[in-house]
Structure 1
Amino acid sequence: MASKRFNTFKVVLASLAVVAVGYVVRTPWLPIRREIKASLGYPKDSLLNFTELTAEYGYMSEEHEVVTDDGYILTMFRIVQARNCHQKKRSPPVLLVHGLLQSSDSFIDSGPNAGLAYLISDACYDLWLGNVRGNYYSRGHIRLDPDKDSEYWKFYIDEIGYYDIPAMIDHVLEHTGFDKLNYIGFSQGSGTFLVMCSERPGYCEKVQLLIGLAPAARQFNTKSKLFRAVTQAFEVLEGQLESYGVVEIFAKGSISQEFVAFFCQLSDLTEQLCEQVLDVFDYVHSSHLGSITNETTRNLYGHFPAGTSLHNMARYGQSMKSRRFEKFNYGKEKNLMLYGSEEPPKYNLSAVTAPLVCIYGSNDGLVDTKDVEWLVKKLPNVIESMKVEDPNWNHMDVTYSQYTSDTIFPKINEYLLKYTSD
């Protein structure tokens, strides 16, 4: 019996390794050229980058390059002209940051009537969107080659919070001339902001309002069996995968991502299967039918997943085993060497002094309500914590639902107005 279980375990590990490699490997014929995809019937929106896609709907965007203190080259976008804003931009600027495995595209994939980037811009806010290290917009470095140097990929939320978020905040403030901005973070985009406040004294004071959308800190109660299984498998396999050179996970343009993008637009049946994958990945209970439209599903798989590091995915696996919001756990011996203690240090949540508005859903399978409520109790300056009224509102709805203009944007806009001048 023990031998049978061991053999099953080996098969599972081997299968995961194949999947992981499939999401990393690039060949001379990948990524597939846009012209070929267009001829195969891919939705046009799924083939466009951020500036192209926003322009398609009457929005003008700028691309900005930001270099972090440790040499990572990040891409940011600014929507300089909105289709439905006919007055002077409100101030100060707003910085919007995506979640795990996403990019700035996630805020426009659901179209101009639902995408948060469009809604915020149309309300005349000066909107900037960030892309953290490792996704396809921010896959560069002044010294390291991400295709050749594994050192590039040795990061997790700690480095994103310590380097990326501060660099983006500084760039926006320097470019606009303001002393403070308003920050909106989805999932990891909120969690890395908390890391920044803990690890970079003074940076929290550069933000006058924090809006946390399904903020990911501790994830002890995550109910998604698939997300839990995948991330914890990566934690177990990290050493073995690294030895085979697998350090980038779920990359855009890799074999598996290209296959998924192709498969999801083949027919109505395959499209439905792809919708079901999102549901299985996320929701706790039966989801509300039609929250994510067929068109959005076809578009988002052209931009998602956007890539991250194996080390970051392994850290998410750890976060579901701990009741603390803490740094990477390398084991007692290495922890002692790195941290001076057998346990990894906790992030200092009392340092998150920016006023916080928290918005979350009761059907979120990735960031459970218990963990959100735990976080809210730990933070010193929570001005409101709102659970979305729709009992089926889940994690992916934040970026992809057709109903964001009715469910979460009114609360976002309410507080942006309170912390904004015309």
Structure 2
Amino acid sequence: MSMNIVKDFLLQLAIIATLVFTFQTFFATKSMRNKQHIGVIQAVLLAVAIVLCMSFPAYITANVRLDIRIVPLLLGALYGGWRTGIFLSATIILYRLLLGADLGLYTTIVTLVVSMPVILTSQKSFQHGGKNKRIKLALLLSIFYCLVGIAFGSIIGGVFIKTLLINLIHVCIATLAVWLFTSLNETIKEILLKNQQLQSAAKDAEISFLRSQINPHFLYNSLNSIAALCIDEPQKAEALTLDLSQYMQSRFNFKHMDTFTTIENELELVEIYLNIERARFGTRLAVEYDVDRQLAMCIPPLILQPLVENAIRHGLMTTLGGGTVIISIKKETDDVVRFAVEDNGIGMSTSTQEHIWHVDETKQGIGIGLQNLSQRMELLYGQRIHIESTEGIGTKVFFDIPVKPFELIGG
């Protein structure tokens, strides 16, 4: 008999463990944007655990059956909130009603009515507590719940020494199970949090590295363009050097590699670069803007200048007549802004477009800037840049940025 009781409780523990850790494995690390849906999934899984525990109780006698429904009930109420707690309580009452209207049903209802307000009131303190405080609070609440059940069961069914001893053993088992699952849950949460922090730190480091590559690249090309003017037009070269120096001093801070900028500042940087290129290429270079000036959002710095540079150097200036660059910043939808740079230069073949993403990073060329920018967009927003190009007609490079506040992917 005792071995059967042990097996029954172990079966309940296995059911709870399977469903709880399934949730932790597949859903706990999902984006916070799906928090509401994930909460529903969590509540449903815990409700299934409760129903299964109640379906496979430990039979102490023919009329006395015990289960550890308190474990998923407490986990749901404390981690999921009051809605989950009420949903799980309703699940217990409805399923107990299906099993039959007897003294156990009334004991269950009274126990939930008395204990759940205390549990839900303690939920806020639980959420704001540390690991040890959470475990202690969960243990106290589980003991309180079980004692309330014993008290009302004794009032309704009478007091018997044997029944009290069985109930006390049940309290110990239930409390031990609550301690086990709360401790494991807190440990898993700590591991997931540390993992997210490491991923976020790695992304920050990689983004900073990619930006550190772009900054010298921008300076190198800008200074080369100015140097080309020094012999024939030294005064213009001097003016452009001073403009670049002043801009770099006021707008371009190398120390803060993880800061964001505004569209206005980004366009100002592009205009500085274009002034340098116009001085060099003259009327061969024309620029058009299609920008929604009302947009107010933060964006990563140096996301347009590399595209403009590629359009000019590899799209337009490889032809004698030059051409036009169109810079576009427009809302694609209510939640997305599209940034695009288009030129009417020589264009690219399909094979050239594919080659861009596999170019050797140790060599200079059209692919380096695009690869770098695409990696930054993927790290920041989870999507790469797109290229549309036709030989002899031109090239369009674009990417989308959400209007919502910046949030690291996976962080």
> Could you say whether these structures have the same fold, taking a TM-score greater than 0.5 normalized by the shorter chain as the test?
no
Normalised TM-score (structure 2): 0.23
Normalised TM-score (structure 1): 0.23
The structure with the largest alpha-carbon Rg is 2
Name the structure where helix makes up a greater proportion of residues.
2
Q: Relative CO higher for 1 or 2, CA cutoff 8 Å, sep ≥ 6? A: 1
